[in-house]
Structure 1
Amino acid sequence: MEFNAIFLDFYGTLVHEDDDIIPIICEKVKSTAAQECALKDIGAFWWNEFSIMFKNSCGESFRTQRTLGIESLANTIRKFESNCDAEEIIQLQLEHWTKPKLYSDTKPFLQAFEGIPVYILSNIDSSYIQAAIKYHDIHVNDILTSEDVRSYKPRPELFLEALKRYRLNTDEVIHIGDSLISDVGGAQNVGIQAIWLNRLNKSNTRRN
């Protein structure tokens, strides 16, 4: 089937996620914690705090990923009685967002779509993804983020706004991304066909 446009996720799809950065931040919390704790416990607590905030962030209650990251990390620091400053140590993650490692096949992959409009649909804050696009000299037709629509994938708002903004019907576009929930599930829920780009050989479940 031919498509008139391609929707693409960015982090985890075209560039590496921050999986190598999170343990470094957790180690900073662990090394200054007043109680005995394991890295996995710190990471799990932080992820749970972030996930709760993330799911409740929409519309008037929307907060950027930067804000969610700092607030959830601050809660984690308090939980483990660390004296770290959340805004200071999260800079490692924010710096990664602006200069993530590019997958070696990304540019050939994009070049294969020459003549077909390609639009990035990302949950990461606009300023960070724009910086990353510029850093790697990636050329796409447009970038639309959750910050623009005040809603995160897999909610429908980002996909629906993309269809409206780029004047596309659901059967004219395909979405490609690395998350079964945010990308595949989110796109399919509004009637867009989706491809799961499973770079990390994840199990075929809706938990990622």
Structure 2
Amino acid sequence: MIKALFVDFYGTVVHEDGAVIKVITQMIKDTGDGSDTSDIGSFWWTDFQTMFLNSFGIAFETQRDLERESLEHTIEKFHSSADASKLSDMMFEHWMRPPIFEESKEFFSKCPIPVYIVSNIDTSDIMCAIEYHGLNPAGVFTSEDARSYKPRRELFELALSNTGLMPDEVIHIGDSISSDVKGASALGIGTLWLNRSGKAVPEGVTDIKDLLDALDFIG
């Protein structure tokens, strides 16, 4: 019996930071020697991911620190005169006040079982975003709490431990195959892939088109 839902936040409940990333990469291009914003974005993402995947335990760094460091590296790589602090502030502003997906509030109000947020983000930023949109989850678990990021198991284990739930009593919903689906599945947690853009569905993965579709899987 499913007793609760674990739900990713950015890209699932609210919009990811793609729009602000486009603005930032354009600003780096305009103030540096990069010829293409896609090259800048690719370097930035790869640099961030490298640090992100190695950030756990005593080596853990917050999302804010990782984003700032990766921006500094990107600005240096493309010889840009952009101000890393100002660009970072743009990212943080998005994280604290992200646009929300149309059905998200209805999902929270209609879901008959507790909904817990499980997110790769700093605690203060997500709490600002939750308050900004007037959401009322049953609980919030962050990478900062666990000192580890999905798809590593520590964040999922923290959520299970603190809720007193077993893996087979939970479904985790998220928009990332690697972080959400594979991460939760590794602990035996059932998963739903939020596939808003209608991408091809990998074998063994169950997808939904929006959050309200998830309500069909509990009962």
TM tier, shorter chain?
A: over 0.9
Find the partner of 2:80 among 75, 79, 82. Answer: 82
Alignment match, 1:112? 110
Alignment match, 1:13? 12
Instruction: Give SS of 1:23's match.
Output: helix
Number of residue equivalences: 203
Alignment match, 1:130? 127
Alignment match, 2:100? 102
Residue 171 of structure 2 is aligned to residue 192 of structure 1:
no
Between the aligned partners of 2:20 and 2:200, the Cα distance in structure 1 is: 22
Between the aligned partners of 1:6 and 1:157, the Cα distance in structure 2 is: 17
Between the aligned partners of 1:71 and 1:88, the Cα distance in structure 2 is: 13
Between the aligned partners of 1:199 and 1:103, the Cα distance in structure 2 is: 10
The AA in structure 2 aligned to 1:163 is: L
What fraction of aligned residue pairs are identical, expressed as a percent?
A: 49
Which whole-Å deviations, capped at 9, do the CAs of 1:93-136 have from their partners, x for residues lacking one? 1101111111110011112213x111100001111100000000
How far apart are 1:83 and its partner, in Å? 1.1
How far apart are 1:200 and its partner, in Å? 3.0
User: CA 1:128/1:202 → structure 2, altered by over 3 Å: closer, same or farther?
Assistant: farther
Find the partner of 1:156 among 153, 156, 164. Answer: 153
Residues 25-104 of structure 1: pairs in structure 2 closer than 5 A: 25-33=24-32, 35-104=33-102
Instruction: Give SS of 2:108's match.
Output: helix
Which whole-Å deviations, capped at 9, do the CAs of 1:33-67 have from their partners, x for residues lacking one? 0x242101100000010010001000000001111
User: CA 1:8/1:72 → structure 2, altered by over 3 Å: closer, same or farther?
Assistant: same
Alignment match, 2:216? none
TM-score, normalization by structure 2? 0.90
Provide structure 2 residue ranges, at least 5 long, that are not aligned to the other structure. 204-219
**Does the 8 A contact of 1:97 with 1:129 survive in 2?**
yes
How far apart are 1:28 and its partner, in Å? 1.0
Between the aligned partners of 2:38 and 2:138, the Cα distance in structure 1 is: 40
Alignment match, 1:170? 167
The AA in structure 2 aligned to 1:64 is: T
**Does the 8 A contact of 1:25 with 1:90 survive in 2?**
no
Between the aligned partners of 2:200 and 2:38, the Cα distance in structure 1 is: 20
Between the aligned partners of 1:130 and 1:155, the Cα distance in structure 2 is: 22
Provide structure 1 residue ranges, at least 5 long, that are not aligned to the other structure. none
TM-score, normalization by structure 1? 0.94
Between the aligned partners of 2:152 and 2:34, the Cα distance in structure 1 is: 38
The AA in structure 1 aligned to 2:72 is: A
